[in-house]
Amino acid sequence: MSDAMYREDRPTSMTFAEKVFARASGVSSVKAGEGVYPEPELVIIHDAYLGAAFRELSDIGYERITRPDRVVAVTDHEVLAASPQSAVRARANAALARKWRLGSFYDAGQGGHGHVFPMEDRLVTPGMFVSAYDMHCSNFGAIGAYAMAASQDVTVILATGSKLTTVPETVVVHLDGTMQHGVHSRDVGFRLAHDLLAGVHGVSVEACVMEFQGDAANDMPISARIGLINTLTEIDVANILFPPRHFDGAAAADMADLPTGVGASLRGRIALDLGSFGPTVALPGAPHNAAEIGEAAGQAIDHAFIGACGSSNFDDFRAAAEVMNGRNVAAGVRFFVVPGTVKIARRMMSEGLSQVFLDAGAIILPPGCGPCAGGLMAPLAAGEVSISTAATNNKGRMGSSEAECFLASPLSVAAAAVAGRIIDPREVMA
């Protein structure tokens, strides 16, 4: 259904996003602001929306979808059915995947988090154009794949194979320097999200692609890239991209020409020194409510968790275990550890990390979203306080709307779990 026409005023050099949209739309070039019909190579839908999506299509009269082979259904929101109703829903999802002949269905205990395992299993690879229901599919930008969050419009993609989309503008963010000891990419992300919305950088990223460039971006490990992307996703950006690289860190040489080069038309440029950031928390309400960790220090906590789409990689847990350094979880705190994928959980087992967490008194949950999926698992009671690496912390996010959710880095969450209160992780680290 693409109908973009050739135009002579096209730029000679496209942005990363424009190159991806052009290829996905079957045209030689596009530019920001144009309406196109890109066709995702993969469409990912999680267990909490699968039923609603196909019910919407059935109710209208659909009995089939355009490219079922491209659809991946994942089970990460309600991995442990916590009620008989959710067990019924889980079975309905499996039946639905068969009826609609979906390309693959990852049931409970298979794959893991739908924003993580597709990279690990190379279902999503650098340079791909994919789409998903959930906005945190932005994670795939960590390997240089463009994942369009379709939200409820995913039904239009299922039915027609595409949807009318405006090619977004790009803001290039050049990263330099090295993060200080005890600082994590999530700390950078909270601060940057805050500063972007506050106008500190003089450029709006709303509905734009943020493209990280520079040696510090290129060299940043995938887990850190994911943490940075995850903390920036909720400020209404179109997407966040890093230079292409495989999930295991291997180079993606065939995609080396994808990043935006000189000559491309941009919304703006920002330059950041990673060395200028300190440990940060997001105060309850939103990930962009950034504050220096000292401002929240001393706040007693009841609940802590490391995991969810943004910080559930092996590196995140190893870093957290180093901070804990043999100390036990503080009395009165329940501390949940939620590996991103089944493979990560296995590696944590084989390399002894699971033992470390269990010895410290932590609770290991199955791979998936953990408490971040609306508190379907391990929720908060009224009056309780949580600190976590969740994707967001709006009121009521993890259970009671009378609970408070702080967000932080895996280092700061681990430090809080052993201290029983929010604390600068550098005070705990050797």
Q: Check if the beta carbon of residue 154 is closer than 8 Å to that of residue 132.
A: yes
Cβ 209 to other proteins, closest distance in Å?
Answer: 13
Closer residue to other proteins (CB): 51 or 177: 51
Cβ 403 to other proteins, closest distance in Å?
Answer: 12
Q: Check if the beta carbon of residue 386 is closer than 8 Å to that of residue 406.
A: yes
Beta pairing, strands 35-36 & 165-166: antiparallel
User: Can you give the C-alpha Rg of the chain in angstroms?
Assistant: 21
- Compute the distance between CA of residue 242 and CA of residue 230 in angstroms, rounded to an integer: 13
- Beta strands, E only, 1-123: 35-36, 43-46, 71-74, 104-105
Closer residue to other proteins (CB): 152 or 355: 152
Cβ 246 to other proteins, closest distance in Å?
Answer: 29
Closer residue to other proteins (CB): 62 or 94: 62
Question: Phi and psi dihedrals of 289, rounded to 5?
Answer: -80, 60
Cβ 182 to other proteins, closest distance in Å?
Answer: 30
Cβ 159 to other proteins, closest distance in Å?
Answer: 6
Element (H, E) at 282: strand 280-282
Closer residue to other proteins (CB): 153 or 302: 153
Closer residue to other proteins (CB): 311 or 392: 392
Cβ 63 to other proteins, closest distance in Å?
Answer: 5
User: Which amino acid, residue 417?
Assistant: A
Q: Check if the beta carbon of residue 247 is closer than 8 Å to that of residue 313.
A: no
Listing DSSP states for 95-117 in one string gives HHHHHTT-SEE--TTSSB-TTTH
Closer residue to other proteins (CB): 236 or 257: 236
Question: Which positions touch other proteins (CB under 8 A)?
Answer: 35, 49, 52, 56-57, 60-66, 101, 135, 149, 151-153, 155-156, 159-160, 166, 206-207, 234, 236, 238, 286, 374, 392, 394-396, 401
- Beta strands, E only, 53-208: 71-74, 104-105, 129-132, 146-149, 165-166, 170-176
Closer residue to other proteins (CB): 155 or 280: 155
Element (H, E) at 191: helix 185-197
Q: Quickly count helices (H) and strands (E) in the chain.
A: 14, 18
Cβ 162 to other proteins, closest distance in Å?
Answer: 11
Cβ 148 to other proteins, closest distance in Å?
Answer: 12
Closer residue to other proteins (CB): 52 or 271: 52
